[in-house]
Structure 1
Amino acid sequence: MNFKNRYLLIIAAVFWFSNAFAQSTTAYSWTNLPQIKQPVFKKDTFLITTFGARPDGHTLNTKAINAAIEACSEKGGGVVLVPAGLWITGPVVMKSNVNLHLRVAATLLFTPDKIQYALTEGFYEGKSAARNQSPVSGIDLENVAITGKGIIDGNGDAWRAVHKSQLTESQWKEKLASGGVLKDDGKTWYPSEQFKKASVGNKSMLLTPGKSPADFADMKDFLRPNLIVFNNCRKVLLEGVTFQNSAAWCIHPLMCQDLTIRDVRVKNPEYAHNGDGMDIESCKNFLIEGCTLDVGDDAICIKSGKDEEGRKRNMPTENGVIRNNIVYNGHGGFVVGSEMSGGARNIFVQNCTFMGTDKGLRFKSVRGRGGVVEKIYAKDIYMKDIAQEAVFFDLYYFVKFATDGERDMRPVVNEGTPVFRDMHFENIVCNGAVKGVFVRGLPEMPVSNIVMENMVLSADKGIELTDADQIRFKNVQLITKETKPVVFMENSSNISLDSIRYDVESEVLFSVSGERSRNITVQKTDVSKAKKGIEFQKGAQEKSLIINPGK
């Protein structure tokens, strides 16, 4: 099928599904979404220039900016105003009842001088760890905001390593000229010898019993800070500002309640290791809307702690609304995991566009994490040029399989078994991906009870399910390059395929594999248009799939 015909088919299918979508009903309500309380501030304004700050791109303004924030909070709160200019600063510590407002053309540029950042207790990927102090932080606050049209820049290139393959030739030459050291093979640049030793030696930054941040002084350069960290805060607002160039994660609210992130821009280089856009961790009642992200790792990511430490915290990320956002580069557009040991639930994702991300809707975990991810709802999601999968579930995150691809069987379910269940995705359009849908659960804990309806997926491959249970596809158009098969199901059960449309010239429509496959039903789908409607492999029985063409 040529490009023009494929495009026309997509447009026709979108109209068809939009009509079907309008007539569909669901068991949950999009009209009764979680409510998020907003912070309110006094009108009193504190200019940072009054406290001695200078916008000359040279003066270190750390003391002046923090003095303005402190004075504002002590007098009952208000606005700390950052006028237009290039303001060099070290770490900024937020206080309750303070709105840090950056006017247009105001840039807070954080110094690359690592001495300015104290070693402190923090978190790394869901576990307690030694970190350098974040450029912007707040702990145990209420009523706090960062607003305006300015820029907060973390100067992340001073902190992060980069591989030669991630840069152009001219960028690599520029990096070498900036200083730093190379790995022995000459293919990785490190910002310092200290960083290199910690990285090559695979040194841990985790705070185990008996260790304090001071014990990590010999690897300080390696302990990259997250740009914005709010820990255990209530009524937090980030609005209008551009957050960019973070050393590690960009925006990291942790254990916060009533969080709003609105109309912000988040930008990191594509090569930024751990360059996530937003990591919402163990937060309750949150709204992310109207944001634009272009980052080096996951874009909008839901987390809740890692492994036993996350399970003991037992704080799910819950009651969230994510809408009207655009994601360009990123490992995933909307992501849950892999550090989700405290669980996630009651999250609504609507009217988002992913343009060129690695994956679209991305769910990931692994044995040992534990946690329950459930009641995730997504609709009106539009994707283009997805590098890998449009919809992706994988409970073998970072697991290497044997050459034969076999997965080990562990029938025992315990507190470390992750659970992904009870989700509903509808009105999803993807024009370009390697796979439309990929689901890989665990033999002992399949990904279960997922409904996907009213979808148009143009991809190299259609649908692939392994260790999945109670998965329902309804009104799905699959426009695929590879058609042998269009839908692959391995050791999966209770699968419903209702009103599936596919390319007429498909070699094999449904392939069923594995002796644990059972109770697969196909209805309102014309199997005869494929050269071969169904095939059974690796012990799958013919009775595992039933066709009801008229129902």
Structure 2
Amino acid sequence: MLVTLLLLLALSNAVKINGGDGQCDYSPTSVPRPHSVSILEFGAVGDGKTLNTLAFQNAIFYLNSFADKGGAQLYVPPGKWLTGSFNLTSHLTLYLEKDATILGSQDPTHWEVVEPLPSYGRGIELPGGRYQSLINGYMLHDVVITGNNGTIDGWGSIWWEWLNSHSLNYSRPHLVEFVASEFVVVSNLTFLNAPSYTIHPVYCSNVNIQNITVSAPPESPYTAGIVPDSSDNVCIEDGSIVMGYDAIALKSGWDEYGIAYGRPTTNVHIRRMNLKSSSGSSIAFGSDMSGGISNALVEQVHMYNSQSGVEFRTTKGRGGYMKEIIISDVKMENIYMAFAAKGQCGSHPDDKFDPNALPHLDHIILQNVVGKNITFAGNFTGIQESPFTNICLSNITLSVNSGSPAAISWVCSNVSGFSDSVFPKPCPALASSSNSSSSCFSILSINRKAAIL
């Protein structure tokens, strides 16, 4: 009993500590740029029909000359600004006024084809290259995409049709992607209908995504909201995401390519989000996690009308790890599977992966969760050669609907952990034990870094 009380105290203190000192509490101060131009000055036409790619490219090329003079802002006034893919520059703010919409072209020739990311070795959906995202940043410093609730619309329906009909020549583009960039801010905007991922920071540091709305229809195949990928010091807060597949997904590369690249996703803070995932998970970890995922804090999140609430995905051949992750203060409504950790999830890019590269999942804390109309509480199916360890559950109450008798609401294999004050009662592998509870207590009280951020 004493160990249980100590554990609960440590869990509470860890979240209080990190809720006040997490990545989101170090948000950058917005400083106005000393120079500003309107996209109109470069011949753009906001009629939703005229292609404005060249106008965006010329405007950003011009504004690059102010990078060493305090930076500059590109102002997008009300209108529908049709464009193909274009690149941003450092020390730039892209500002969308209310009723301004940047609209992605549905002509694939307006989207450049680029090399695959090195941590993936090929396109996600097809071997070879991939279509460049609509708005891109490569090796940038200090770049902002913001506005007065303007909109960036990927017009993704044609891409979804091509994926479903196997008509794509290359892997689908994302809506916004930053590669190897630092001090990135995305805020105060609406993002619609991404061809694939909506916002994809990859190999980035110090990323703040705040006060945004992200949406794609339920039938959009494998669309995702925000995907931090081999990135560190990421804040995602105060937003709403409704997606066809995953709302938020943390990743770090794919099999031998991700292992070789070796850059983890770490120090991620997610809070005050409303998340809906039609066929995926409100928050997912993996399945592309070969570079590792660690030190993540998710708190004060509302998950609803989703296939799963929180899901950890991996498989043999991935390598990597998922560890030191806290999920706390969550409200769930109308969720088919509240929690899942799956050791047989995801495909391989090619036949060169190492089947002996076993992933590790360790020290995952799920606490302070209330769920209504839940079909299944949890499915924790580990890997026999590398069981999932130290899964710590505390203060969880799930109202399981009549379609799932309490006796079968949890499924467990090759997993071990600790639980206290959990209903329905979890499977024996996650029942209270002195060894597991001591380990949960130790990771929080002895090693503060492991207590996240």
Q: Deviation of residue 488 (structure 1)?
A: 3.8
Give the whole-Å Cα distance in 2 for the aligned partners of 1:444 and 1:117: 44
Structure 2 equivalent of residue 89 of structure 1: 83
Structure 1 equivalent of residue 431 of structure 2: 496
| Contact 2:119–2:260 (8 Å) recurs in 1 | no
Structure 1 equivalent of residue 152 of structure 2: 152
Q: Structure 1 162/42 Cα, relative in aligned 2: closer, same or farther at 3 Å?
A: closer
Q: Deviation of residue 234 (structure 1)?
A: 0.4
Of 411, 431, 434, 1:464 maps to 411
Structure 1 equivalent of residue 294 of structure 2: 345
1:24 aligns with 2:9: yes
Aligned-partner residue type, residue 156 of structure 2:
G
1:476 aligns with 2:422: yes
| Contact 1:231–1:255 (8 Å) recurs in 2 | yes
SS state at 1:147 partner: strand
| Contact 1:301–1:336 (8 Å) recurs in 2 | yes
Structure 1 equivalent of residue 388 of structure 2: 447
Aligned-partner residue type, residue 107 of structure 2:
D
Give the whole-Å Cα distance in 2 for the aligned partners of 1:272 and 1:123: 24
| Contact 1:109–1:153 (8 Å) recurs in 2 | yes
Aligned-partner residue type, residue 324 of structure 1:
R
Give the whole-Å Cα distance in 1 for the aligned partners of 2:436 and 2:320: 28
SS state at 2:367 partner: strand
Give the whole-Å Cα distance in 2 for the aligned partners of 1:362 and 1:456: 18
Give the whole-Å Cα distance in 2 for the aligned partners of 1:101 and 1:310: 34
Aligned-partner residue type, residue 235 of structure 2:
L
Runs of 5+ consecutive residues of structure 1 not aligned to the other structure: 1-19, 164-187, 199-218, 400-412, 479-485, 499-518, 522-551
Q: Deviation of residue 32 (structure 1)?
A: 3.1
Give the whole-Å Cα distance in 1 for the aligned partners of 2:333 and 2:108: 40
- What whole-Å deviation, never above 9, does each CA across 1:376-433 have from its counterpart, x for those lacking one? 011101000002x10111111158xxxxxxxxxxxxx986101110121210111122
1:318 aligns with 2:303: no
Structure 1 equivalent of residue 184 of structure 2: 236
RMSD: 2.6
| Contact 1:36–1:259 (8 Å) recurs in 2 | no
TM-score by length of 2: 0.84
Q: Deviation of residue 48 (structure 1)?
A: 0.6
Give the whole-Å Cα distance in 2 for the aligned partners of 1:467 and 1:376: 19
Structure 2 equivalent of residue 216 of structure 1: none
| Contact 2:418–2:436 (8 Å) recurs in 1 | no
Give the whole-Å Cα distance in 1 for the aligned partners of 2:121 and 2:192: 24
| Bigger Rg over Cα | 1
Structure 1 equivalent of residue 350 of structure 2: none
Aligned-partner residue type, residue 111 of structure 1:
S
Give the whole-Å Cα distance in 2 for the aligned partners of 1:279 and 1:353: 18
Q: Deviation of residue 21 (structure 1)?
A: 12
Q: Structure 1 61/324 Cα, relative in aligned 2: closer, same or farther at 3 Å?
A: same
Aligned-partner residue type, residue 412 of structure 2:
L
SS state at 1:312 partner: helix
1:110 aligns with 2:99: no
Q: Deviation of residue 127 (structure 1)?
A: 3.5
Give the whole-Å Cα distance in 2 for the aligned partners of 1:21 and 1:53: 63
Structure 2 equivalent of residue 74 of structure 1: 65
| Contact 2:181–2:204 (8 Å) recurs in 1 | yes
Alignment of 1:124-273 (within 5 A): 126-129=120-123, 130-148=129-147, 149-161=149-161, 190=165, 195-196=166-167, 219=169, 222-273=170-221
SS state at 1:25 partner: helix
Structure 1 equivalent of residue 22 of structure 2: 33
SS state at 2:98 partner: coil
Alignment of 1:255-294 (within 5 A): 255-294=203-242
- What whole-Å deviation, never above 9, does each CA across 1:3-44 have from its counterpart, x for those lacking one? xxxxxxxxxxxxxxxxx9997333744243236563755232
| Contact 1:37–1:235 (8 Å) recurs in 2 | no
Q: Structure 1 415/139 Cα, relative in aligned 2: closer, same or farther at 3 Å?
A: farther
Alignment of 1:525-536 (within 5 A): none
Q: Structure 1 264/477 Cα, relative in aligned 2: closer, same or farther at 3 Å?
A: same
Of 402, 416, 421, 2:362 maps to 421
Q: Deviation of residue 82 (structure 1)?
A: 0.3
- What whole-Å deviation, never above 9, does each CA across 1:73-111 have from its counterpart, x for those lacking one? 212322110001111111121110111010110001111
Give the whole-Å Cα distance in 2 for the aligned partners of 1:106 and 1:276: 23
- What whole-Å deviation, never above 9, does each CA across 1:138-167 have from its counterpart, x for those lacking one? 10000001101111111111222279xxxx
Give the whole-Å Cα distance in 2 for the aligned partners of 1:456 and 1:83: 48
Aligned-partner residue type, residue 116 of structure 2:
G
Runs of 5+ consecutive residues of structure 2 not aligned to the other structure: 124-128, 348-353, 438-453
Q: Deviation of residue 118 (structure 1)?
A: 1.9
Q: Deviation of residue 520 (structure 1)?
A: 10
| Contact 1:99–1:146 (8 Å) recurs in 2 | yes
Give the whole-Å Cα distance in 2 for the aligned partners of 1:260 and 1:83: 24
| Contact 1:21–1:454 (8 Å) recurs in 2 | no
- What whole-Å deviation, never above 9, does each CA across 1:253-307 have from its counterpart, x for those lacking one? 1000000010111111212122011111000101000110110111111000010
Alignment of 1:34-73 (within 5 A): 34=23, 36=26, 38=28, 40=31, 42-73=33-64
